[in-house]
Structure 1
């Protein structure tokens, strides 16, 4: 927990928090001594001026203590909140640069928990550290020394009380700490099921699985609740038992101190001060114990966050990046082989082709044949195992990732829009895109009509995920977003699937007719033969292998796999 804070908290602010806490503890420790003086020298002797004088001193010390406490709390809060802010920023920045491999390893739901709940645990722990962890040892040592000064004999009470408290707190830690650690994983499970339920709510309703999903959530929710009830029940026992121990200690000190006063071996004021110091000692010991109970949970959270920050990123920047500036648009797969992490068999093998400016390559194949895997290698979402992927003649591993992504316009399978306006979403492709350029892209993507029909036009509001558009509309807007970008390679990963045949044909024709895009490399992944039929080159994939390459006519005449795909999509008597 302290390691993760290195470089993220100010040493000066921590020093200030420590100084304020030392002042608060010293003034708090001095107050019982002044109380003792008032009783011994003022009340006992009837010296009213002395009582007033010492009383004003007590008020002054109390004010200093309050000011120091406020200063400490202010700094502790500021340190913890800044630490949380920087941790969340660092985690988000790290995750944004993750490859698909790292995202798959940790999981989206767990990343959300680590960025929110785990960071909050660390923030709370740091407030506790800068308050209790500094106060408790100083108070414990100082109060013990001053109590010993007041009466040597009464301090023997602590030889009985402190071991009892130590045994009790040890038992609490033994049972509570593992349960606190388990709560973070159980929070992950709740987020996972809840997130799946929210994103898949339409599917759940369509298949009438409401009861099943509710049962799933109830299971993980009950698991978390049972764990929380156990741990907080254990923690709830702490305060009444500690109160019982402290009350018993008070009774014991008062009884023993009364005998000492009766024997004139102790003054009344000293007994009052000793009782106060005894409470400070016991409270300090309890605070230390609570720290040792709660810190392991924060430590577990720190470990989880450190896992995210220390996660080895497989996609690394080249030591001496080459520039794509001035290069001619082209795309080449040079005997590429790729396998997913821990997979026994390669997802792609022997993929070899080259496309130059003005050419369109289409990729078709059955489900699981490796089509999306292939196009995910172009923007370097994954790295190849052997061979090379080249954009504009350069190996993508030798190019700075930012510059590489500037040269690739990518439309993923799932059309994902962001909350905001249509213009905001279009400018994801090009920050400086003008309205004219956006309308041009919308027209090519066959999205101009339904946007122009709205009163707001480009300022039309887009809900989260684009839920106020149909599936086909979202897909066309996602395509338009890519077309706003001036790239060397345009990749459409099965992004025409929600379009009707007429819109599909019009869109592909518009791509060919556009003077800019017609001079670039276009990659189309499709399931329908009609989508890929007019491409310059069609690649046929089967089980990760390229089993065919050629035009529609060539493949239809000679390639068995392509023939099967064609035959499965046409009725007898139709032509493809």
Structure 2
């Protein structure tokens, strides 16, 4: 785990080395000061030696100044190293997530990945900074102070031999009890992020159904879950203070008791007793600091394991070495394809799919909700990989193509596609970053989007809000179709992507495809028979199986399900007989 995370240090390595060295020096100066102070009292003040006082006072002043300078510099360097490490770690995480397939995303969930990129990374940043400073300073001060205490008075230092193990055992017992609670916190953060994400994305639905109170309750429950676990952890960690106070007071009493006896017996001087008090505080406070850093590291360890899980996860779909770089044409073949999200041949979402499309042909797909329509088309651009069988494009297995080449030649337009904040033109250029204005306008005309774009306040330079909230659903779908066409693909997949478009506009878009884009293979998923009735072939999917296949006229005779859908839509007035046969 450490080896994987250490890769994100990179250019911050020098700061990560220099900072602990400076902290180590600062620890030595801090421990030297009580010893010299005791010397100053015993040999200077008590004996009235002004020269000795001035000389040692100057040494103490220099030590204090260098300690402040090195401490400040170490703090700055540690902060810079930790911030740089965190920046690199976020970059590495995000870059790795970008390579994930849909299957990988499903395994982690979007909300959990957001928590890892934010809360978990912040925890590691704080822990890394603490390791460079406190984790070096505390043990250094404790060891040096323990040694110097024996130098001052071996008899008095024996008190620490008894006290330190008691405090150490107590602190670690507290940490051991609190540690599992911090592991639970991040799972609660995942739940909270999921609630917030769903509510913000679905805010229009929430308001239209007046479900604000329900959503508030869900949020409060998630927030209370985090609060409850943190409260249990803090109750446990709160035991640190009384334990520390008890040990410090007990040690001070013992020092006073034995110190007084030794001073009366001329075995200890006043300055040495003062030095022992200082070393007592340094040793015990260092132990307390160590307990706090271990507590922080316990939280960081939970975050680190979650982050490393993501970094170690291999994308289930990767581009092959020396993958095929060109797609000959839009011929599509599905040969005995089976698919399962769980890779379980006993739980297939698609069963024995056989399809053969020539370049330029149009395939219509219809079926009930959950029949596997979207799953089927997702296999062509390798958003998922088949469980068995083979999918071919241009006569070559899709798994043999370079992944970028494959996806550049297979454009997918989803029903709930996404637009990003930026201008209309910026969004369209996702399909082709180098598209000219003329190419953009032409694609929009094919998608019947140009007319409404021209009416926008700034035309193609109109700013779109995130998720395209300032355009209608039908306008958003037409923009997404135009964006897909700008890729100039061999295959265009429309996954119910004209559902928000009126039937007249839908027919005009299909007419433009037939007249202007005859070379592109079209695969159209639709719940409206009028959207697929003129396809070269239509398949009816039911429970992951092709139950019927043929033209519109053939299916009306051979498929009861297709005929029932057709009759239902005509009866409801959603379609007209003549239009369905157009």
TM-score by length of 1: 0.95
Cα distance, 1:398 vs. partner? Answer: 0.5
The CA deviation at 1:286 is 1.4
Of 473-482 and 230-239, deviating more is: 230-239
**Aligned-partner Cα distance in 2 for 1:341–1:243:** 56
Quick one: distance in 1 between partners of 2:520 and 2:446?
15
For the aligned residue pairs, the C-alpha RMSD in angstroms reads 1.8
Change (3 A) 1:238 1:340: same
Structure 1 segment 111-190 matched on structure 2, within 5 A: 111-190=113-192
1:195-214, CA deviations, whole angstroms, 9 ceiling, x for partnerless residues?
22222222223333333322
The residue aligned with 2:88 is 86
Shift of 1:102: 1.2
Q: Which residue of 2 aligns with 1:397?
A: 399
User: Cα distance, 1:38 vs. partner?
Assistant: 1.4
Residue 553 of structure 2 corresponds to which residue in structure 1?
553
Please show how residues 429-440 of structure 1 align to structure 2 within 5 Å.
Answer: 429-440=431-442
Contact 2:9 2:88 in 1 (8 A): no
CA distance in 2, matches of 1:101, 1:265: 75
- 1:46 matched to 2:58: no
Q: Is the 8 A contact 1:177 1:294 kept in 2?
A: no
Give distance in 1, aligned partners of 2:454 and 2:55: 83
Q: Does 1:475 align with 2:477?
A: yes
Deviations 1:233-264 (A, max 9, x none): 33234235423432442343234323322322
Deviation at 1:313, TM superposition (A): 2.3
Aligned to 1:443: 445
- 2:500 is matched with which residue: 486, 498, 502? 498
Higher mean Cα deviation, 423-432 or 186-195? Answer: 186-195
Match of 2:350 in 1: 348
1:76 aligns with 2:61: no
In 1, Cα distance between the equivalents of 2:572 and 2:461? 48
What CA deviation, in whole Å up to 9, does each residue of 1:177-221 have, x standing for no partner?
111111111111111122222222222233333333222222222
Q: Note the residue ranges of structure 1 that are not aligned, 5 or more in a row.
A: none
Change (3 A) 1:25 1:121: same
Displacement after TM superposition at 1:30 (Å): 1.3
**Structure 2 Cα separation of the partners of residues 530 and 347 of structure 1:** 27
Q: Does 1:408 align with 2:415?
A: no
1:120, 1:197 → 2: CA distance? 24
**Count of matched residue positions in the alignment of Structure 1 and Structure 2:** 573
Residue 200 of structure 1 is matched in structure 2 by 202
Report the secondary structure of 1:409's partner residue. Answer: strand
Q: Which moved more, 1:304-313 or 1:367-376?
A: 304-313
Tell me the distance in 2 between the aligned counterparts of 1:485 and 1:322. Answer: 18
Q: Extract unaligned runs of 5+ from structure 2.
A: none
Shift of 1:335: 2.0
Which residue number corresponds to residue 425 of structure 1? 427
Please state if 1:296 is matched with 2:278.
no
> Matched residues in 1 for 2:571 and 2:330: separation?
39
Cα distance in structure 2, aligned partners of 1:194 and 1:245: 46
Residues of 2 paired with 1:568 and 1:28: CA distance? 86
Are 2:42 and 1:16 aligned?
no
For the residue of structure 2 that corresponds to 1:378, the secondary structure is coil
Q: Hey, what does 1:530 align to over in structure 2?
A: 530
For residues 556 and 55 of structure 2, what CA distance do their matches in structure 1 show?
106
- Structure 1 residue 317, shift from structure 2 partner: 2.4
When structure 1 is superposed on structure 2, of 529-538 and 74-83 the one drifting more is 74-83
Secondary structure of residue in 2 paired with 1:380: coil
SS in structure 2 at match of 1:64:
helix
